[in-house]
Chain A
Amino acid sequence: MNDKRVSFSGVWLPAALLAPQLAITAVFFLWPASQAVYQSVLRQDAFGLSVKFVGLDNFVRLFEDPGYLASVHVTVVFSAATAILSMGFALLFAVAADRVLRGATAYKTLMIWPYAVAPVLAGVLWWLMFNPTIGIVAYALRGLGLSWNHVLDGDQAMILIIIAAAWKQISYNFVFFLAGLQSIPRSLIEAAAIDGAGPVKRFFTVTLPLLSPTTFFLAVVNLVYAFFDTFGIVHATTGGGPGQATTILVYKVYRDGFIGLDLGGSAAQSVILMAIVIVLIVIQFRFVERRVHY
């Protein structure tokens, strides 16, 4: 931890300055997080009358539960598709926006604002567009001879939440890709142009490699987003269904805990999710903080 050469002395003043943050962290963070870990090794009977210590049994049961494994699969498909779609489109738009001179600000404004839309609202908007009876997209698909009903078809429900989640995240990725593009020295691009490389070749040999730290950082952030922030999209639109087709892990934690009242199982799921976030964040710090360059 790098320190200031000049510092103030005293113990009580810094303690008082830190007190509010530490107090809130202890009450609303450390205690609940440790409770989650603690509950993950307990099991309550159905009426909540007795609690017994079961060790890692909750975890073992999870990994033997086809429902949980299906949810892992759903989450992997959903997160990968969301990250790839939103990053792909964001990169395309950022490269285009970086190129234009006329109207650049207007385009940027049009691209950026969905950041402010809550995921649940994104879900509801696309839910209306895909509504099997009145939705405009469902209507267009019918015109193409495709029947759309995400209420019955699990794959279609998955496509719906992926589109809603990716749509909302494009703006975030766009901001970072554009910042990354604008930090690439013009001289490099010009040198490549003088050497006779066309725009497409320049993009793949100069721009894309130099964007790799940004891309890597965004990949981690997008996975965290798809894992957690998309709860509202699933909760308000598909409700995890049809069947279990869109029950992503964070939704399952909520449903098993608050509706199924399986506290031990839900806590064990929380602990697994915690482990996943910690791994993702450590990866992000190790690589991104070192500012990888090729």
Chain B
Amino acid sequence: MVERRPLLTLVTHLTLILGAAFIVLPVWIAFVASTHAASDFLSGVMPLWPGDQLVENYWKVLGTGEAAAGTPPIGLMLFNSTVMALSIAVGKIAISLLSAFAIVYFRFPLKRTAFWIIFLTLMLPVEVRILPTYEVVAGLGLLNSYAGLSLPLIASATATFLFRQVFLTIPDELTEAARIDGAGPMKFFRDILLPLSRTNIAALFVILFIYGWNQYLWPLLVTTDTGYYTAVMGIQRMVAVPDSEPLWHLIMATAILAMLPPVVVIVLMQRLFVQGLIEQEK
């Protein structure tokens, strides 16, 4: 702070407190809704304080799910989300580390072509090419499978470019020293590049885990078997009940559970997350 201005400091804190309240409010309401019985919503006004049905509601969604809407127990959906998010994060990081290594540390014909092919994928989010991508996945028989859920989302270049940036900042002297010591490329990759990129890998993992966990449209298309529903898309099936009021208490319990893992990841890994986000976008 450049100078002391008590009034301005007060206004600053008030702004932040009001801002934080605005940010937290919808989740508080959702949490409150998830602790009431269905009958509590009939009176007309949404309660503002938690009720006494917390254990019952969460036990119900975790155990049996909402059979009327055709959704499986949230436990299974959370498991599917975890598999999908981990496959996407690990898969992207693995293929990107390898291809960035090839692009930065080798000279070979068609290198430029390979670079641009990968670069192209930055341009088109999956939302834009859903129909043909869906047809490819259906043609390969990957509907209702973990591979179908994650493989198409692994094809994106952001991670490759991040690792390329990281590798370019690693001094040439290290490579020279490794070569003089007789290390081959893969040994150099494993013993020098990987340890040096450790924090970047961790930061990117946080971002990609959240990206994978929060996928919506793609799982909605490729899963028709409830056994492969993910938590984030399963919500929509519960919301879209025909001809009746949605079961708010169960939907909100599911919503809270579906947002909990990525939120915990961010809160615990805040520093890594911010670093990863800013690096990824550079």
Contacts and interface: CB of A to CB of B under 8 A. Distances in A.
Contacts of A26: 117
A97 to B, nearest CB: 6
A135 interface: yes
A281 B122 contact: yes
A114 B220 CA distance: 22
A72 interface: no
Given A6-B179, A175-B277, A167 B129 contact: no
A219 to B, nearest CB: 13
Contacts of B95: 20-21, 24
B133 to A, nearest CB: 4
B: interface residue count bin? 35 or more
A21 B13 contact: no
Given A3-B107, A278-B123, A136 B46 contact: yes
Interface residues of A, number: 106
The 8 closest A-B pairs by CB, nearest first: A35-B132, A116-B262, A118-B214, A32-B132, A17-B102, A125-B26, A14-B102, A14-B106
Given A1-B111, A13-B102, A257-B130, 16 more contacts: A6-B176, A7-B175, A13-B106, A14-B106, A20-B95, A20-B99, A28-B133, A36-B131, A109-B267, A120-B232, A125-B255, A127-B239, A175-B278, A199-B5, A258-B131, A277-B125
5 contacts: A27-B155, A170-B23, A221-B281, A232-B236, A274-B123
Interface of A: 1-11, 13-15, 17-18, 20-22, 24-33, 35-36, 39, 89, 92-93, 96-97, 99-101, 103, 107-122, 124-129, 131, 133-136, 139, 167, 170-172, 175-176, 179, 186, 189-190, 193, 199, 202, 217, 221, 224, 228-229, 231-232, 235-237, 250, 253-254, 257-258, 263, 266-267, 270, 273-274, 277-278, 281
Interface of B: 1-3, 5, 8-9, 12-13, 15-16, 19-20, 22-27, 29-30, 33, 41, 44-46, 48, 94-96, 98-99, 101-109, 111-112, 114-115, 117-118, 120-125, 127-133, 135-137, 140, 151-152, 154-155, 160, 168, 172, 175-176, 179, 185-186, 188, 210, 213-217, 220-221, 232-233, 235-236, 239-240, 248, 251-252, 255, 258-259, 262-263, 265-267, 270, 273-274, 277-278, 281
